[in-house]
C-alpha cells in the first residue's frame, strides 16, 4: 500500500494533462480525446453495472485464490473479492471504450476473476471474441454464471492455469491482451514475451496493477524499455502497450486519468 501510495503522488506530479496538452503524437492525442476522455454514457454501462451492484452486496463466502503473487486458502465474501480484485467502474469503462473504439477481433484475457473486465469487453463490441482464462475454480464458476445471466455469447471462459493454457492458446494470433494474473516480476515478463510473439501488428496489450508492488513496477519499466514496443502509456493502474505499425521511434507517455 505504501509503495502504491508513494508512486501515485509521483504520478500526479509528473503525468501529462488528461486533456492532451503537450502531446505531439497524433495517435496518442486521438486516444486521449476519443477514448480516455469520452464522456458518453453508453447504455451498456447500466447493463453491466446492474450485475456488478449484485457483487457489491453479495456476502456469500468463497475461497480466495491459492494462485498468483499472494496465495491464500482463506475465505472471503464475494463483495470483498469484487472490491479488492476486480477492475473498478472507472477502469472497467475505460476497457469498454478501448474495445469499442479499436474493435479488436480477438482478445485474450489472463485472469478472469469474477468476470467483470470480461463483461465490459464483451458488451463493448459484439463482434469481438474474448477468450478468458482463470485457474481458480470458485472464481471461474462465478464468472461463468455472470456471463450466462448477462446473455453474452462472445466470451469463451477457460478453466485452467496460465501455464497449462498458454502453449496452445498462443498458437493463434490476437489483437488485444488483458493481463491481470500472477502479479510477480517473473510471471509478468514471461506473459509479456509470450503474448508479444502472438500479437498481430496493431495489437494492444493492457497490463493491470502496474504499481501494485515494486515487482510489478519493475516489470512494467522493463516492458517500456523493450525495443519491440513503439508506444507505451502509463495510466497509473493500467499500463498500455500499442504495437501500431504506423508509430515510428520510441514513445512513452504518463497521462493523468
Looking at residues 122-133, what average pLDDT do you find?
A: 98
Each residue's pLDDT tens digit, 198-230:
999 999 999 999 998 999 999 999 999 999 999
pLDDT for 85 equals 86
pLDDT for 245 equals 75
pLDDT at 53 over 90: yes
Q: Where is average pLDDT lowest: 15-19, 72-76, 128-132, 181-185?
A: 15-19
Looking at residues 87-97, what average pLDDT do you find?
A: 97
Looking at residues 237-251, what average pLDDT do you find?
A: 90
d(CA 255, CA 217): 16
Query: What is the Cα gyration radius of the chain?
Result: 17
| Mean of the per-residue pLDDT values of the chain | 91
d(CA 219, CA 50): 35
Distance, first Cα to last Cα, the chain: 20
- How would you list the strands of the sheet with 199-208, edge to edge? 155-159, 129-134, 106-110, 174-179, 199-208, 238-242, 231-234, 251-254
pLDDT at 70 over 60: no
pLDDT for 247 equals 82
pLDDT for 1 equals 61
Looking at residues 68-81, what average pLDDT do you find?
A: 76
The domain segmentation of the chain, as residue ranges, is 2-254
Looking at residues 74-98, what average pLDDT do you find?
A: 93
pLDDT for 21 equals 57
Q: CB-based burial of residue 21 (10 Å sphere; 0-12 exposed, 13-18 middle, 19+ buried)? A: exposed
pLDDT for 109 equals 98
Cell of 152: 453474452
pTM to 2 decimal places: 0.92
- Tell me the CATH architecture of domain 2-254: 3-Layer(aba) Sandwich (3.40)
Looking at residues 36-57, what average pLDDT do you find?
A: 96
Sign, Cα dihedral of 55, 59, 62, 67: positive
pLDDT for 68 equals 54
pLDDT at 67 over 80: no
Amino acid at each position: 500500500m505504501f509503495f502504491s501510495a508513494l508512486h501515485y503522488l509521483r504520478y500526479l506530479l509528473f503525468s501529462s494533462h488528461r486533456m492532451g496538452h503537450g502531446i505531439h503524437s497524433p495517435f496518442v492525442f486521438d486516444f486521449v480525446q476519443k477514448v480516455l476522455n469520452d464522456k458518453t454514457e453508453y447504455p451498456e454501462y447500466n447493463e453491466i453495472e446492474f450485475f456488478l451492484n449484485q457483487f457489491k452486496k453479495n456476502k456469500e463466502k468463497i475461497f480466495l485464490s491459492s494462485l498468483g503473487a499472494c496465495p491464500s486458502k482463506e475465505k472471503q465474501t464475494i463483495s470483498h473479492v469484487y472490491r479488492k480484485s476486480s477492475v473498478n467502474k472507472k477502469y472497467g469503462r475505460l476497457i469498454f471504450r478501448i474495445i469499442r473504439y479499436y474493435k479488436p477481433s480477438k482478445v485474450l484475457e489472463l485472469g478472469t476473476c469474477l468476470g467483470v473486465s470480461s463483461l465490459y469487453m464483451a458488451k463493448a463490441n459484439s463482434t469481438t471474441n474474448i477468450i478468458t482464462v482463470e485457474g481458480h475454480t470458485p472464481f471461474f464458476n462465478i464468472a461463468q454464471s455472470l456471463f450466462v445471466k448477462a446473455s453474452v455469447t462472445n466470451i469463451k471462459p477457460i478453466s485452467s492455469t496460465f501455464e497449462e493454457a498458454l502453449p496452445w492458446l498462443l498458437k493463434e494470433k490476437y489483437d488485444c491482451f488483458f493481463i491481470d494474473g500472477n502479479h510477480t516480476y517473473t510471471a509478468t515478463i514471461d506473459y509479456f514475451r509470450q503474448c508479444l510473439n502472438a500479437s498481430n501488428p496493431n495489437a494492444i496489450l493492457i497490463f493491470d496493477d502496474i504499481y501494485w508492488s515494486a515487482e510489478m513496477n519493475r516489470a512494467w519499466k522493463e516492458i517500456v524499455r523493450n525495443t519491440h514496443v513503439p508506444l507505451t502509456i502509463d495510466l497509473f493502474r493500467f499500463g498500455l502497450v500499442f504495437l501500431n505499425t504506423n508509430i515510428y521511434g520510441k514513445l512513452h507517455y504518463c497521462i493523468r486519468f
